[in-house]
Amino acid sequence: MKKEIKFSLVYRDMWQSSGKYVPRVDQLKRIAPAIIDIGCFDRIESNGGAFEQVNLLFGENPNKAVREWVKPFNEAGIETHMLERALNGIRMYPVPKDVRRLMYKVKKAQGVDIARSFCGLNDHRNLELSIKYAKESGMISQATLSITHSKIHTVDYYMNVVDHAVEYGTDEICLKDMAGIGRPVFLGKLVKAIKDKYPDLIVQYHGHSGPGFSVASMLEVAKAGADYLDAAMEPLSWGMVHPDIITLQNMLKDAGFLVKDINMKAYMEARALSQEFINDFLGYWINPKNRYMSSLMIAPGLPGGMMGSMMADLENIHAGINSQLEAQGKSPLSLDQLLVKLFDEVNYVWPKMGYPPLVTPFSQYVKNVALLNIMSLYQGKERFQTIDNNTWDMLLGKAGKLPGPLAPELIELAKKQGKEFYTGVPQDNYPDELDKYRKEMEENGWDTGEDDEELFELAMHDRQYRDYKKGVAKERFLKELENLKHKSKETKVASGTKSKSSSNNVEAISSPYYGKVYLDLSLDLDDNKIKAGDKVEKGQRLCYIESRASYHSIKSPVDGVVELINFNEGDNIKKEDVLFSIKKEQ
């Protein structure tokens, strides 16, 4: 008898791994029937993580969004699952016990079936209450392993977490390969170990595409006995997101597994609707670089979804570091060179920081320390000059037990600064707070909502909820969207080039792409390269941009004289960066 593999569409994570926002509730309701009609999905990742927080940011009631979004799946018999961060709930920092407990009651009442609970440190103590409260509320508990790759993250290491999760009563296990750096053979061995010991335990695998391992990993875990695989669909599959369902279904069918057929008409309808949402407003916050896959992500182990923010961080310090190098009589660094240095520094600091799996928020902590170390080193200072309070909480044990030992220099630094290490249960550091928030709602005349869901949102996301209730969030979002739309309208396409006109008769030519910019593709014919002061004609090629493995010619939309070139050969540039300023001929 063929082994059946079932699929879950991670619609929430598809958007969260691509950009800042998720579709509005009216859009979610429109696409749900098409997703159901695709016919191959037994589960949908519907909410959790940053989903509700993002709803609040653009002025939408997250509780209404969850209830209306999951309803059609409930009616169709498709299970829905949310992502939550154990001690951190569905936010980035620890949550009081009573707020965590209320979360499961609210989500179950809203129609969410499964709680996928992960601790970024794989501390089973943080998972205990997640499992207890999920089951208490009537949800399926899916205890989750944060997958990474190091000498200490062995099969035995992960099985210790699994054993405790089973002891606490979990119904399922998920392997959350958030950076996609889990090695396929290792993941197969881990799934086999789980199934050998707990043959009736459901196992689900979630792997991002970024470094390129994920399809091989999915075949290996399927062969080892996994029951569910997480999949994405165009236009948001691959890149730093997840493998596409079409590829996975065809691969597994060929390998002899029992998989459901795909209704391609419905797939194309859902694909078109997602693209419509991108074109409507979501695309303004989606970085095209998230479409790339890169084996460079293997070494540092950072999640691909961090690439956009990481490059922005590097761009912010790039000029400052080159100023330091110039003052020292040294050659400047390109952005690519700086990126490699950041990756090297992550590799250096990660073991010293106790090998925390590089998943939100701990991936940000490690990256931030590495970034600040680079700045310190170029200033002639020692490493670890600046460590923020959240990172210290992780290092001191307040967020959970680190997988590995802390480096002696960090222990010494903590003692020097009078910091105390914590070995107790992390949850004990965060007292109950629901009464405080209930009082605030009473004072403001705010309804606590059906099943206390509004009380929950205030307690979980207090600042964002207050802005939502006051209308500030929606005003801020609409202003941000209008600015982006205005910026887009301001640009025009001329010979494949975006340009902006200004009142002083100077044409500012902007890039229509993300990528690398070159004045000429020849290695030695410098005379062909445009220089400041050169006359150019309308339609004349000014430079090339390497984007998505293609070279695009950027041509002048006007006759004139080049006044300014705003880049160096081989620089990384962003979409709508101004490349040239050309004074138009009269």
pLDDT at 285: 84
Domains annotated for the chain, with CATH where assigned, are 295-426 (1.10.472), 492-584 (2.40.50.100)
3-state percent helix, strand, coil for the chain, nearest multiple of 5: 50, 15, 35
Alpha-carbon 549 to chain mean position: 23
User: At which residue do the structure tokens 């391609």 appear?
Assistant: 264
**What's the one-letter identity of residue 441?**
M
How do residues 98-112 score in pLDDT, each as one tens digit? 999 999 999 999 999
- Residue count of the chain, please give it: 586
How do residues 79-105 score in pLDDT, each as one tens digit? 999 999 999 999 988 999 999 999 999
pLDDT at 545: 85
CA atoms within 13 A of residue 490's CA, in its CB half-sphere:
14
Q: By CB neighbour count within 10 A (0-12 exposed, 13-18 middle, 19+ buried), where does 480 fall? A: middle
How do residues 132-155 score in pLDDT, each as one tens digit? 999 999 999 999 999 999 999 999
Residue 524 has pLDDT above 50, yes or no: no
Q: Angle at which helices 245-254 and 214-224 pack, to 10 degrees?
A: 40
CB 61 within 8 A of CB 465: no
Alpha-carbon 153 to chain mean position: 22
> What is the C-alpha separation between 479 and 380, in angstroms, rounded?
42
What does the mean pLDDT of the chain come to? Answer: 90
User: At which residue do the structure tokens 């200490």 appear?
Assistant: 152
81: region left, alpha or beta (phi > 0 left; psi from -120 to 50 alpha)? beta
User: At which residue do the structure tokens 């990384």 appear?
Assistant: 572
Q: What percent of the chain has pLDDT over 90?
A: 63
Q: Between these two residues, 421 and 481, which has the higher pLDDT value?
A: 421
**What's the one-letter identity of residue 305?**
G
170-179, 380-389, 400-409, 430-439, range with the lowest pLDDT: 380-389
How do residues 532-548 score in pLDDT, each as one tens digit? 888 999 888 898 887 76
CB 13 within 8 A of CB 44: no
Angle of CA points 344, 346, 348, to nearest 5°: 70
Q: By CB neighbour count within 10 A (0-12 exposed, 13-18 middle, 19+ buried), where does 172 fall? A: buried
**pLDDT band, very low/low/confident/very high, at 252 (cuts 50, 70, 90):** very high
Residues 6+ apart with CB under 8 A from 461: 52, 53, 56, 91
Residue 192 has pLDDT above 50, yes or no: yes
> What is the C-alpha separation between 283 and 274, in angstroms, rounded?
10
CB 274 within 8 A of CB 12: no
pLDDT at 504: 59
Which residues lie across from 258 on neighbouring strands?
4
Residues 6+ apart with CB under 8 A from 417: none
> What is the C-alpha separation between 176 and 161, in angstroms, rounded?
13
CB 186 within 8 A of CB 310: no
Residues 6+ apart with CB under 8 A from 319: none
pTM exceeds 0.85 for this model: no
